[in-house]
Amino acid sequence: MKSKDFITPERLAKITAAVKARQFSLRVVLENIHDPHNVSAIFRTCDAVGVPKVTLLYTVESFPKISKTSSASSRKWVDHEKCDNTEECFRKLKKEGFKIIATALNEKAKNLYDLDLTQKVAIVMGNEHRGVSDEVLKHADEILYIPMRGMIQSLNVSVATAVILYEAQRQRALKGMYSKSELSEDDLEKMIEEWAAK
């Protein structure tokens, strides 16, 4: 018997809906984010918006120990991969068809709300103090900024990630991208079975 035969119909319906809504064309890359609480909060937002995988790009900081208390549930549903080489990381992402969008305040940056986030995109979020590295900016296809009206021109990195991902969700929902799975029927069934076993 399959794992999904042992769960309630309600639980199976919830799993099926969440798997179908996963946006495999949307990735988050965290570059050297220091505070594990920020990493955990970002994982929770990724789950909420349907981002199936986070890339942890750590070339300076140690790989984060993700808090079990704040992200235990989201870690079950959001995969992650580790990278310690920027060039290799972006070569792999571009080979998979991702457009790299880095977050930074510079003269090349475009307003978040002017970008098409329904494409196959990987959003790169940088360190709390240093931001994204020059090497990331060198590999980025585009750079975005979040418009702000106050005196302080920065947000906490987990809040900034949430703002960007919810704009991506808004655009994708308008385009109907949450109503149709990006997976084949076989892959969809396989993923539902894997989640039912968790």
- What total of structural domains would you count in the chain? 1
pLDDT tens figures, 10-22: 999 999 999 999 9
Residue 193 counted as domain residue: no
Q: Is the pLDDT of residue 64 over 60?
A: yes
Residue 61 has pLDDT above 90, yes or no: no
The range of the structural domain enclosing residue 61 comes to 23-180
pLDDT band at 65 (very low <50, low <70, confident <90, very high): confident
pLDDT of 6? 72
Return the bridge partners of 111, or none: 145
Between CA 158 and CA 43 the distance in angstroms is 9
Cβ atoms 99, 75 nearer than 8 A: no
Residue 189 lies in a domain: no
User: What is the percentage of the chain residues whose pLDDT exceeds 90?
Assistant: 80
Side chain identity at residue 5, one-letter code: D
Has residue 85 been placed in a domain? yes
Residue 17 CA to residue 15 CA, distance in Å, equals 6
User: From the CB of residue 136, how many other CB atoms can be counted at a distance below 10 Å?
Assistant: 25
Are 28 and 39 a contacting pair, CB within 8 Å?
Answer: no
Residue 191 in domain: no
Tell me, what CATH number does 52's domain have? 3.40.1280.10
Region 143-168: mean pLDDT is 94
17 lies in some domain: no
pLDDT tens digit sequence for 98-149:
999 999 989 899 999 999 999 999 999 999 999 999 999 999 999 999 999 9
Q: Considering the domain boundaries, does residue 112 fall inside one? A: yes
Q: What is the C-alpha to C-alpha distance for residues 33 and 37, in angstroms, rounded to an integer?
A: 10
Both tokens assigned to 180: 């149709």
